[in-house]
Amino acid sequence: MGTVLLTIIKTIFSVFFLPFVVACVLVFKAHLATYPPAYQLFFFWGIISFILIFLFFMSLDKIFEFSHKIIQAIFKFTAPFDIFFANILSLYLLVLLGVFYFFSTYKGTANYNHIFMFLIGFFFALHIVSLSQGLKDSLKIFARFSYLFWAGLAFILNILLIVFVLDKILGQNLFPKFFSSLMATTGHAYHFFFKKIFFLKFK
């Protein structure tokens, strides 16, 4: 009984978390306009390329599982929170963003920036989709909606990481503005969400 109740609570919390995810999508989409056109184009092509491979060619689960295991091993000392870090963080994104930042700061990567953005988009999509699929398949049927929370949290935190690092690379100092806009848009999203719920309830 306790397990069922906990699952119901997680499911409800997951659904109520969705406006935050939607707000993040909207704000990030608007924020992309502040990047050079090549950044925007190749980031999206990275995402699209992964989706095409995933849908029509092969699953890349093994690549995701390798990242998951490495991150979990790195944060083993934080157990049981090592699972949290493994679900949220992508080894590939961390390495890519770190290398991108290092070379843009000390070596110069003007001729390779589009490649970095393509790979960032690709491995961002890989992490979110593979995490969602893995959690959904591993949960019992009545608990499957709770995977939305993990997928949403991973989505938001990785977007924040990407924006933060790109902000440093481009020297834009726009991350505080992005974060403030995200909070404001999230507030509006929840206001709209609850307004619709109570409107339908008392209609």
* pTM (predicted TM-score): 0.85
Angle, helices 2-31/147-170, rounded to nearest 10 degrees: 30
- For 19-34, the pLDDT digits (tens) are 888 889 999 999 998 8
Cα-based distances in Å from 1 to 5, 7, 9, 14, 196: 6, 10, 12, 20, 31
Whole-number Å distance between alpha carbons of 166 and 172: 8
Tokens 């070379």 appear where? Answer: 103
Which pLDDT score is estimated for 173?
86
How is 167-179 classified by DSSP, letter by letter?
HHHHT---HHHHH
Residues 88-101 have a mean pLDDT of 91
More confident residue, 64 or 8: 64
Which pLDDT score is estimated for 135?
73
Which pLDDT score is estimated for 142?
47
- For 130-187, the pLDDT digits (tens) are 888 877 665 555 455 566 777 888 999 999 999 999 998 888 888 999 999 999 988 8
